[in-house]
Amino acid sequence: MSDVSIKLKEVSKSFDGKLIIDTISCDFIKNKVHAILGKSGTGKSVLLKMLIGLFKPDSGKILINGKEAEHYKSVGDFKMSYIFQSSALLNSLTVLDNVTIFLDEHNVDEKESRVSKALKILNELGIKDSANKMPSELSGGMRKRVAIARSLIIEPDILLYDEPTSDLDPINTKTISQIINKLKARGDITQIVVTHDIGFAYSISDTISILDNGQILITGDPDLIKSSKNPILDSI
């Protein structure tokens, strides 16, 4: 089986006649952590939304496990989860109910086992004590961890993060980077992380791609990116 989890082949996307993603080709290797680093407005969220299927490319192909994205919804041979830039928790539900919501809605397992699964994940992420709190009672870092817990409960093969450290202080940023590294060590989940935080990208990534003006300028491991001296790095 191929070790490529997601393959982009000359993918382009425009909005209102403006080219946002410009003929991007890129491989994301299975069970590794890939960061997409770029300035605000360069198309990072648009790229992620195409991977999850919220936007369709105007041209080019997205292959997941070798199958074209258009068909993957009906294939059901892998699970993909997405952590929104805003965390997107439901404010009227407790932390626990936010985490179990997908399983509740799809009636997966008994309620008791959904709850124990959620508590186990919340415990791993260090927020089990907040299970009965409402989202409004949480800090930004805790909200982010609840959003990650909600994504993990479906046991995804591919996990996409949109700016998981935006608005977080260095301590919370470090916590998120530890969580991503812990998941990486498990070796069974492909993580793609969009960020404009270079230090954070270095702390989690197997590979980093620099996105600018809708194009990938360079892809490589953190050492290669550090030594590239690409002037774009000074402006992110």
Q: How far is the CB of 55 from Mg ion (least distance, A)?
A: 13
Closer by beta carbon to ligand ATP, 4 or else 217: 217
- Please state, in angstroms and rounded to a whole number, the distance separating the CA atoms of residues 127 and 95: 9
Partner in contact with 20, chosen from ligand ATP, Mg ion, none, beta carbon below 5 to 8 Å by kind: ligand ATP
Q: How far is the CB of 31 from Mg ion (least distance, A)?
A: 25
Number of Cβ within 10 Å of residue 74's Cβ equals: 7
Q: How far is the CB of 219 from ligand ATP (least distance, A)?
A: 17
Number of Cβ within 10 Å of residue 191's Cβ equals: 24
Q: How far is the CB of 117 from Mg ion (least distance, A)?
A: 30
The site for ligand ATP (CB under 6 A) is made up of 15, 20, 38, 40-46, 196
- Please state, in angstroms and rounded to a whole number, the distance separating the CA atoms of residues 53 and 89: 20
Closer by beta carbon to ligand ATP, 4 or else 52: 52
Question: Who contacts 24 (Cβ-Cβ below 8 Å, separation ≥6)?
Answer: 8, 10, 11, 12, 47, 60, 214, 215, 216
Backbone angles phi, psi at 183, to 5 degrees: -65, -40
- E strands present in 33-79: 33-37, 59-64, 67-68
Closer by beta carbon to Mg ion, 43 or else 135: 43
The site for Mg ion (CB under 5 A) is made up of 45
User: Residue 51 corresponds to which tokens in the numbers above?
Assistant: 């991977």
Closer by beta carbon to Mg ion, 41 or else 66: 41
Partner in contact with 46, chosen from Mg ion, ligand ATP, none, beta carbon below 5 to 8 Å by kind: ligand ATP
Q: H/E/C letters for each residue in 121-133?
A: HHHHCCCHHHCCC
Closer by beta carbon to Mg ion, 45 or else 191: 45
- Grouping H, G, I as helix, E, B as strand and the rest as coil, residue 17 is coil
Closer by beta carbon to ligand ATP, 13 or else 117: 13
The identity of residue 196, as a single letter, is H
Compute the Cα dihedral for 44, 88, 33, 154 and give only its sign. negative
Number of Cβ within 10 Å of residue 20's Cβ equals: 19
Q: How far is the CB of 42 from ligand ATP (least distance, A)?
A: 4
Q: How far is the CB of 40 from ligand ATP (least distance, A)?
A: 3
